[in-house]
Amino acid sequence: MKLLDLKPNQYLRYWLWENEPDLPQILPGTGTELMFHYYTPFVVKTQKDDVFTAPNCHIISPRHGRYRLNPVQHNGFISVRFRAGAFRHFCKDSSNNLIDSFININELWGRQGQEFGQRVLAAKSLEERIIIIEGFLMKLLETYHRPRSWLDMAVMKLFGSDAVKLKNLSSDLFISDRQLQRKFKEAVGVSPKTFQRISRFETVLKYLLLNKKKDYLKIALEHGYYDQSHFIREFKMHVGEYPALYLQDKNFMSHFYNEKLQD
């Protein structure tokens, strides 16, 4: 996996995956991925053992489900990773309607999306693909941008933190609890409480994988897990394996997390 520091902005970043045969699981998280498979799309197996081939151009916002990706002979894709809550600025649909599905971009943006995907896949170089993607997304941003600073603040406060008490969040933001619950779910796809829980787990797992840590207890406790059994239960729920089995060299070498870019 290669992380691309190309025209980053407050909403997204780009990354690239090519010709690495071992594809990791897609695990529950807080963001949205917009993926363009310019070689063979991956084959997806769900928790219910349904198997299908991903569309060449699609989005995925995993919140509850996890997906195993079967190896393909020649894989290659460029992905746009939208930070939590940001995809609402690029699409008229509620994020609540987009979670846990591999959605063809034709369904999101119609013929405009279909033509956009064809142009990206037909591009002859990485630089050309970036230019096409950047231009299209900026037009979407001009059309769908939803300024709501309190919602961005709510996402920031809850991301990876257990210190924020949900009962106090709405009053801190000077909005009603009902409004917070409704607008937050529209923007992120889950309730504030569920988002806080997923983001905490995502933060811990990302740290463990990037730092190749098999000893997980200290970092788990630092992020608000009550004890070892609490973390193990959530780990098994999100990953489908126990931490001792999953935190091994093969998963340290192959995952979809990356380091934060420096400003």
Q: What tokens appear for 152 in the block?
A: 């961005």
Residue 36 belongs to some domain of the structure: yes
pLDDT of residue 118: 97
Four-CA torsion 225, 226, 227, 229, nearest 10 degrees: -80
pLDDT of residue 9: 59
pLDDT of residue 145: 85
Q: What is the DSSP string of 120-137?
A: HHH-SSHHHHHHHHHHHH
Residue 124 belongs to some domain of the structure: yes
Q: What tokens appear for 172 in the block?
A: 């801190």
pLDDT of residue 160: 65
pTM: 0.90
Q: What is the 3-state secondary structure (H, E, C) of 139-165?
A: HHHHHHCCCCHHHHHHHHHHCCCCCCC
Residue 167 belongs to some domain of the structure: no
- In sign, the C-alpha dihedral spanning 245, 250, 253, 258 is negative
- Partner residues linked to 104 by β-bridges: 58
Among 77, 78, 96, residue whose Cα is nearest residue 87: 96
pLDDT of residue 4: 41
Burial of residue 250 (CB within 10 Å: 0-12, 13-18, 19+) is exposed
pLDDT of residue 249: 93
Residue 49's CATH number: 2.60.120.10
- Those residues with Cβ within 8 angstroms of residue 195's Cβ, 6 or more apart along the chain or in another chain: 30, 84, 155, 158, 159, 184, 188
Q: Over its length of 263 residues, how does the chain's per-residue pLDDT go in tens digits?
A: 444 443 445 788 889 998 777 789 999 999 999 999 999 999 999 999 999 999 999 999 999 999 999 877 788 999 999 988 889 889 888 777 899 999 999 999 999 999 999 999 999 999 999 999 999 999 998 898 877 778 888 998 888 667 778 778 888 888 889 999 998 998 889 999 999 999 999 999 999 999 999 999 999 999 989 999 999 999 999 999 999 999 999 999 888 987 764 44
The total domain count for the chain is 1
Residue 190 belongs to some domain of the structure: no
Among 22, 17, 21, 23, residue whose Cα is nearest residue 4: 17
- Those residues with Cβ within 8 angstroms of residue 141's Cβ, 6 or more apart along the chain or in another chain: 11, 89, 90
Residue 229 belongs to some domain of the structure: no
Residue 121 belongs to some domain of the structure: yes
Residue 6 belongs to some domain of the structure: yes
- Residue range(s) defining the domain that contains residue 129: 2-144
- Return the beta strands (E) in the chain as ranges: 2-4, 12-18, 32-37, 43-45, 51-53, 57-60, 68-70, 76-82, 103-104
Residue 181 belongs to some domain of the structure: no
- In sign, the C-alpha dihedral spanning 53, 56, 62, 67 is positive
pLDDT of residue 263: 42
Beta strands across the sheet bearing 68-70: 51-53, 43-45, 68-70
Q: Cβ atoms within 10 A of the Cβ of 123, count?
A: 18
Spatial contact of 71 and 24, defined as CB atoms under 8 Å apart:
no
